Amino acid sequence: MPLPLRLRPLMSRRNKALLLVAGAWAAAASAQPAAPTPDPAPEPAPQPPRAAPKPAAPRVTSVTPVKDRVLIVGALAKRTGQSRFFTLKPGQYVDFAGIRITARTCETTPPWEWPRLQGGFLQVDERLGGQVRRVFSGWLYAESPSLNVMEHPRYDVWLKSCTMRFPDGPKPEPSSTARISAPAETAADSKPR
């Protein structure tokens, strides 16, 4: 049924489209005879209850706390040629060939930032003649050891890797610098030799 001409400009395009669709649907429904309704299909047999889905891995909502980060530190005694790798958490220390290496913290750039850098703040104390002397305190970088070097005539200390996680990101993959050829010792395993 057409609208009077005086009402047509007052209708919006949307209303006109709805009116046309409704009219076409009503015309189609009245033109077709009603089809017989088919017999309802038998209800399927009840399914056994499914096992509850495995809970998803907990979402990481914050950066790894400092106390849970893990550093792998390499040390070399130049006089004896003795070399070791140690796994430390911030606050732990290890005694090696006359020096004490103390890990204070470490940081890694997030996976979405470039370049990928891993740094650790280490303190190295030397025991010599019953006295303890701080020979290094600063940041060491795994990918660019030359940015800040521990210069000492008898010892060399370097950072191999720092492991931490970031919010909603994948767990960090070990970088190429974190692959260790010698077994790493933990601070609890190391004893003065």
Q: pLDDT tens digit string along 74-92?
A: 999 999 999 999 999 999 9
**Count: domains in the chain:** 1
Residue 104 lies in a domain: yes
Residue 22 lies in a domain: no
Residue 105 lies in a domain: yes
Domain that holds residue 136: 67-186
Residue 145 lies in a domain: yes
Residue 165 lies in a domain: yes
Tokens of residue 6, six digits: 């005086």
Residue 149 lies in a domain: yes
Q: What is the pLDDT of residue 62?
A: 80
Residue 129 lies in a domain: yes
Per-residue pLDDT of 126-158, as tens digits, reads 998 889 999 999 999 999 988 888 989 999 999
Q: What is the pLDDT of residue 166?
A: 83
pLDDT band at residue 36 using 50, 70 and 90 as cut-offs: low
pLDDT band at residue 193 using 50, 70 and 90 as cut-offs: very low
Tokens of residue 140, six digits: 């060491």
- Is a pLDDT exceeding 90 seen at residue 23? no
Per-residue pLDDT of 152-169, as tens digits, reads 999 999 999 999 988 765
Residue 114 lies in a domain: yes
Closest Cα to residue 190, out of 125, 118, 126, 102?
102
Q: What is the pLDDT of residue 64?
A: 86
Q: What is the mean pLDDT of residues 15-37?
A: 52
Contact 177, 118 (CB under 8 A): yes
Question: For residues 63 and 65, what is the distance between their CA atoms, to the nearest angstrom?
Answer: 6
